[in-house]
């Protein structure tokens, strides 16, 4: 599968197309703007007529034609979203009860989520925090709220791991990103920092030499990237992640399992293999969270288990993520297929990837 390049339309100068701020200022948010790139179908037009809002960058829009049409379900609403099913909630993980400050979600004892912005350059239709996402690029967290968050982290020594998320924190200006990373680096009990972002996919132009220099000097810092389908690996995205890897910035990727998009073992094997080839380690395969209007995306749990069963022995272990369900009460719960055939006091029978059963002695 050759990488697709998101070439600019003929009327857009390349220097503008390659400017990440231009990409954000020219986000596609109306049916008329979308029609410059693809023709909306009847299900998408039905959602538009009901006022369902959407947003995507011109870069990502250029990936939606031809074989990339599968990607349009990730960013363009359809009338399927208008139906709310039982058990769906705008805050499915009940995060709001874990907010000691407006910017902090503290669900796990040693980990905290810092919401650095409520803006994303693209609005993913399956997003767990879609309730928080704003379409206003100029809407940002004020300094007072940032200081409250930093102070909470400073006075909570059990927190060792901070995930900076949002919104997408890499839509912030360089100066704000550097200030935030500097402030966190000064807190001695914080051992690990992560930035959660889909920017390499939807806005690869953001990875300027200036930004990469800022990220490089803050260690230990990982980027937690969001990849859904191998067709998201455009030439521009591949360049961005390789520039980051060359700078010594480690990256992991989390993928949401979506019906009709990537719920095929071969597709996910291709995605995870391509990520490894480009030095991005797959680490989570998520069951889709039950946000309102998401039933058309969600798969049975068995689908994810079958994919994990398929991957074992068919690709390198580095390319096999954990399959997890994020729960409202117990956090992320990893699930694995049951490879145990039977067990007695002395032996356990285990079934391998090829169906062979091994009679394995249990050490007492």
Tell me the per-residue pLDDT of 262-311, one tens digit each, with 9 for 90 and over.
Answer: 999 999 999 999 999 999 999 999 999 999 999 999 999 999 999 999 99
Please tell me which residue, 246 or 6, carries the higher pLDDT value.
246
Average pLDDT of the residues in 125-152: 84
Q: Does one domain contain both 203 and 280? A: yes
Q: Does one domain contain both 66 and 128? A: no
252: β partners: 224, 281
Q: Does one domain contain both 76 and 193? A: no
Task: Establish if 191 belongs to a structural domain.
Answer: yes
Task: Establish if 349 belongs to a structural domain.
Answer: no
CATH number, domain with residue 268? 3.20.20.70
Q: What is the mean pLDDT of the chain?
A: 94
Q: Does one domain contain both 147 and 287? A: yes
Tell me the per-residue pLDDT of 311-328, one tens digit each, with 9 for 90 and over.
Answer: 999 999 999 999 999 999
Task: Establish if 318 belongs to a structural domain.
Answer: yes
The answer on pLDDT for 18 being more than 60 is yes
Tokens for 301?
């749990």
Tell me the per-residue pLDDT of 99-110, one tens digit each, with 9 for 90 and over.
Answer: 999 999 999 999
pLDDT at 12: 87
Task: Establish if 190 belongs to a structural domain.
Answer: yes
pLDDT at 344: 81
Tokens for 283?
């680490």
pLDDT at 24: 96
Q: Does one domain contain both 52 and 124? A: no
- pTM equals 0.94
Q: Does one domain contain both 147 and 252? A: yes
Distance CA 131, CA 300 (A): 24
Question: Beta strands of the chain (E only): which ranges?
Answer: 104-108, 111-115, 161-165, 192-197, 221-226, 251-257, 281-287, 322-327, 331-335, 340-343, 347-351, 357-361
Task: Establish if 346 belongs to a structural domain.
Answer: no
Distance CA 203, CA 207 (A): 8
Last residue of a domain, one of 52, 82, 112: 82
The answer on pLDDT for 139 being more than 70 is no
Task: Establish if 362 belongs to a structural domain.
Answer: no
The answer on pLDDT for 233 being more than 80 is yes
Distance CA 212, CA 201 (A): 16
Q: Does one domain contain both 58 and 177? A: no
Angle at 157 between CA 169 and CA 154, to 5 degrees: 50
pLDDT at 136: 66
pLDDT at 137: 58
Domain that holds residue 72: 14-82
Angle at 224 between CA 257 and CA 302, to 5 degrees: 20
Q: Does one domain contain both 119 and 234? A: yes
Task: Establish if 148 belongs to a structural domain.
Answer: yes
pLDDT at 175: 95
Q: Can you say whether residue 248 is alpha, beta or left, with left for phi > 0 and alpha for psi between -120 and 50 degrees?
A: left
pLDDT at 259: 98
Q: Does one domain contain both 34 and 125? A: no
The answer on pLDDT for 20 being more than 70 is yes
Task: Establish if 237 belongs to a structural domain.
Answer: yes
pLDDT at 138: 58
pLDDT at 140: 66
Q: Does one domain contain both 63 and 108? A: no
Tell me the per-residue pLDDT of 61-101, one tens digit each, with 9 for 90 and over.
Answer: 999 999 889 999 999 999 999 999 999 999 999 999 999 99
Q: Does one domain contain both 142 and 274? A: yes
Tell me how many domains the chain contains. Answer: 2
Please tell me which residue, 206 or 342, carries the higher pLDDT value.
206
Last residue of a domain, one of 31, 55, 82: 82
Average pLDDT of the residues in 150-157: 97
- The dihedral built from the CA positions of residue 337, 343, 348 and 351, taken in this order, carries a sign that is negative
Tell me the per-residue pLDDT of 30-56, one tens digit each, with 9 for 90 and over.
Answer: 999 999 999 999 999 999 999 999 999
The answer on pLDDT for 158 being more than 80 is yes
Q: Does one domain contain both 265 and 138? A: yes
Last residue of a domain, one of 55, 82, 109: 82
């Amino acid at each position: 599968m050759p990488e697709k390049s998101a070439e600019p339309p003929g009327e857009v100068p390349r220097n503008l197309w390659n400017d990440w701020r231009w990409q954000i200022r020219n986000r596609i948010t109306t049916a008329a703007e979308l029609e410059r790139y693809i023709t909306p179908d009847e299900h998408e037009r039905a959602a538009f007529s009901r006022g369902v809002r959407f947003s995507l960058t011109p870069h990502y829009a250029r990936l939606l034609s031809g074989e990339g049409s599968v990607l349009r379900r990730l960013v363009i609403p359809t009338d399927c979203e208008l139906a709310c099913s039982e058990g769906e909630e705008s805050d499915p993980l009940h995060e709001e009860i874990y907010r000691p400050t407006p910017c902090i979600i503290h669900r796990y004892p040693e980990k905290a989520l810092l919401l650095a912005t409520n803006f994303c350059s693209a609005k993913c239709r399956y997003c767990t925090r879609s309730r928080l996402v704003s379409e206003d690029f100029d809407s940002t967290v004020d300094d007072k709220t940032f200081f409250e968050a930093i102070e909470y982290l400073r006075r909570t020594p059990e927190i060792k791991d901070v995930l900076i998320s949002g919104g997408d924190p890499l839509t912030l200006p360089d100066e704000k990103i550097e200030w935030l990373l500097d402030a966190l680096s000064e807190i001695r009990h914080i051992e690990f920092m992560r930035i959660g972002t889909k920017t390499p996919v939807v806005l690869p132009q953001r990875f300027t030499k200036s930004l990469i220099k800022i990220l490089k000097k803050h260690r230990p810092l990982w980027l937690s990237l969001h990849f859904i389908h191998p067709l998201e690996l455009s030439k521009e995205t591949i360049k961005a992640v390789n520039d980051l890897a060359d700078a010594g910035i480690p990256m992991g990727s989390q993928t949401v399992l979506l019906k009709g998009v990537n719920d095929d073992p071969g597709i996910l094997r291709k995605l995870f293999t391509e990520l490894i080839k480009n030095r991005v380690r797959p680490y989570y395969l998520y069951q889709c969270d039950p946000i309102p209007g998401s039933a058309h995306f969600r798969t049975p749990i068995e689908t994810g288990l079958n994919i994990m069963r398929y991957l074992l022995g068919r690709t390198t272990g580095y390319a096999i993520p954990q399959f997890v369900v994020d729960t409202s009460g117990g956090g992320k719960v990893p699930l694995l297929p049951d490879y145990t055939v039977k067990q007695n006091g002395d032996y356990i029978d285990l079934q391998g990837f090829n169906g062979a059963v091994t009679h394995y002695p249990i050490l007492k």
